Chains A and B, each alone.
Chain A
Amino acid sequence: MIEVKNLTKHYGDKKAVNDISFVVNDGEILGFLGPNGAGKSTTMNMLTGYISSTSGSVLINGVDVLDDPIKAKANIGYLPEIPPLYLDMTVKAYLNFVFDLKKCKLPRKSHLTDICELCKITDVKDRIIKHLSKGYKQRVGLAQALIGNPPVLILDEPTVGLDPKQMVEIRTLIKKLGRNHTVILSSHILSEIQAVCDRVIIINKGEIAADDTAANLSKKISTDHRLIVRIEGNKDEILFELRKIPGLKYVRADMEREKGVYEYEMEAEEDVDLRREVSALVNKMNWTILYMNSAEITLEDIFLKITMGEGVSEHIKKLKESKSEQNETENGGNN
């Protein structure tokens, strides 16, 4: 289990990570999502004791990383952004070195064989790391993290540099590992997080912008009051009529999809069911409707929205509110 409390890191005046708190339970796979420079790697480096925090604490299985670093680090398998590989060693020699470095007590030969099998590097184990492709290096890095079977795995962008097939393999592997390890993995690939993680923390500018399951995150902001329709007819007339719908916040015409057919995107107040309104209007005006889709918000949208700064504060407020509500109900349940 990982407990992070009020973790903060300043580099001079720059706040790289600002007051982050979260808990990762045993057997949970947590995804860390954020644009480059959001503070993902800094946070992970603090979790693993590579750098210290300016304030706040990290407990790995109840051990503070700064108070008892050796004991805490023994619980962690870490794959940094750039795998810490000694390029002039063979894979086998390197893994043996890590085995010794971690003072691993497991039976050496079978343990290393298992890990090589798991990461699919058995074929290259006698080759010098320098000569391996990026994908294989990444896998050796992962193998290195797995040595000693640490209960906590921290993986910083584990699928970077892999081809799509390898990505799927590594994701499957991580999912498998998640059954008996606590895993934190960072990524800026959304589909990856969606495929692998139970829970997502979106981090932006050093702060947690969202913390929930992937499904919940989409659900919370998904709406039936946002609509995309394609209607055949005069653009200006249609826009004029659509604007008359009560409770409409905005409507805008997108590009011309077919000849004389424009796409319209609109959003109304939350209690308005736009689908019915539009359909009634279309009937009344005798237009032809060619496409209608409620604009369901994907994780991608949330991510972009949150990280692009567009309506960030609004989202955070919303999420925090629902979070505190959740906490209250939880606390109520406990009491």
Chain B
Amino acid sequence: MGAIFRRELGSFFTSSIAYVFLAVFYAFSGYFFYASSLYSATTDMSGLFSSLFLIIVILIPVLTMKSFSEEKKQKTEQGLLTAPVSLGGIVLGKYFATLLMYIMGISIVFVYALILSYFGDVSWNIVLSNYLALFFVGCAFIAVTMFVSSLTENQVVAAVFGILLLMVLYLLDFIAGYVKIDFIANILNSLSFYEKYYEFTCGIFNLSSVLFFVSTAVIFNFLTVRVFEKRRWS
């Protein structure tokens, strides 16, 4: 797992995906920071954080699109799958490498908070809670899009479907508003990622939401392992 983790992290930087991801993330978050906090002269960062949600919906699939699809295309997965490592080790190695990339991106918010603390009091607890929200949503989304990547050998397909899927997850409560059957609407609402995320941005640290995000991550990583199992057994 360690070897895969290190290689994956290295490949983010050699393939320049890391730079693109970080640059785009920093640029957009910087803009939203400027627009919602600096320009309106407030130390409230919730505006920034709710906008960041949309950015990660688009950027996370870019980060994960090649994690498995490229291995399949270049036939390098054959090397991994015939090496003395477990499937879980392969999936988690890649998962944590991607997660670390993601953390490098989102940690920029602390810099923004520091800048704000220059001008006024920043409520650090809320910043931290927001940061954790971003982190946990990322945990879930990375697992989901990596799963998508494991289903195809085309990076573009992986990215497009990843973005679409995350969009659907992002808009679950919006979709729920159009569903006439209460029963289904309730289910969709309770699955809503945005609502849970929104709670965090208001400073509410809800353990059940954390659990929701973490279990989503676990389930989708498990599914990715199953994809490999299935391919081997079919």
Contact = CB atoms under 8 A, between A and B. Distances in A.
Interface residues of B, number: 25
Given A70-B84, A74-B84, A97-B3, A80 B79 contact: yes
B78 A50 contact: yes
B1 to A, nearest CB: 10
B7 interface: yes
Contacts of A69: 84
Interface string A39-55: 00000010011111000
Interface in A39-82: 45, 48-52, 69-71, 73-74, 76, 78, 80, 82
Interface in B52-86: 74-86
Contacts of A98: 79, 83
Interface stretch (A87-95, A113-121, A175-183, A259-267): A87-95
A76 B4 CA distance: 19
A89 B84 CA distance: 21
A292 to B, nearest CB: 52
A76 B75 CA distance: 18
Interface residues of A, number: 29
Given A52-B233, A97-B6, A100-B2, A86 B11 contact: yes
Nearest to B3: A100
A276 interface: no
Given A93-B10, A100-B6, A84 B85 contact: no
Q: Is the interface of B mostly helix, strand, loop or mixed?
A: helix
Given A88-B14, A88-B15, A97 B82 contact: no
Contact of B82 (A48, A52, A85, A103): A48
B6 A84 contact: no
A101 interface: yes
Interface string B75-105: 1111111111110000000000000000000
Given A51-B232, A52-B233, A88 B11 contact: yes
Contacts of B83: 73, 98, 101-102
Contact of A84 (B7, B14, B76, B231): B76
Interface of B: 2-4, 6-7, 10-11, 14-15, 74-86, 231-233
Interface of A: 45, 48-52, 69-71, 73-74, 76, 78, 80, 82, 84-89, 93, 97-98, 100-103, 144
9 contacts: A50-B78, A74-B84, A80-B79, A84-B77, A84-B80, A93-B10, A98-B83, A101-B4, A101-B79
